[in-house]
Amino acid sequence: MQSSLNHTIELPVRFNEADPLGIVWHGHYVRYFEDGREAFGHAYGLSYLDIYHQGYSVPVVKLQCDYKKSLRYGDTILIETVFTPSVAAKLVFHYKVYNAATREIVATGSTLQVFMDLKRNELQLINPTFFEVWKKKYHFDV
């Protein structure tokens, strides 16, 4: 049995992501998280498009981020995305952003997503079948 699933990507900090203080503007971390989540999705068959083709969208309903260190233009970052299973019909991801050079943790965060049934345009209260199958495939027991 598995308790979590991880995926890590490497990204450069873009010039246009740093602010007048020379550090990455805090709002850009939301994109870093989504970049990590989507890379996870492509690695494990759980991208937005995979989910969309099953008839669902997965809007983010809760987001949090703790900023520990600054990032500067020219830095390279690692984004580690961790899927933690949950009994409820939701997707929980945790993120760790590292400075690739120093291996220091720059930020941590999490997102909570729910399933929207695209045909009925309403919240899906129980786990969609495709997601149950997906969790089984990766040996999660909830």
Nearer to its own copies, 3 or 64 (CB): 64
Nearer to its own copies, 3 or 76 (CB): 76
Please report how close the Cβ of residue 57 comes to its own copies at its closest, in angstroms. 6
Residue 119's SS3 state is coil
Residue 23's SS3 state is strand
Give the footprint of its own copies on this chain (CB under 8 A): 12, 14-16, 18-23, 25-27, 30-31, 34-35, 38, 48-49, 57, 59-68, 70, 72-74
Please report how close the Cβ of residue 66 comes to its own copies at its closest, in angstroms. 5
d(CA 62, CA 84): 15
d(CA 30, CA 63): 9
Please report how close the Cβ of residue 51 comes to its own copies at its closest, in angstroms. 11
Residue 21's SS3 state is coil
* 19: annotated active-site residue: yes
The catalytic position among 19, 35, 66, 141 is 19
Nearer to its own copies, 53 or 136 (CB): 53
Q: What is the DSSP letter of 13?
A: P
Nearer to its own copies, 30 or 105 (CB): 30
Of 106, 129, 105, 107, give the one whose Cα is nearest residue 117: 129
d(CA 103, CA 65): 18
Q: Are 41 and 7 in contact (CB under 8 A)?
A: no
Active site positions, annotated: 19
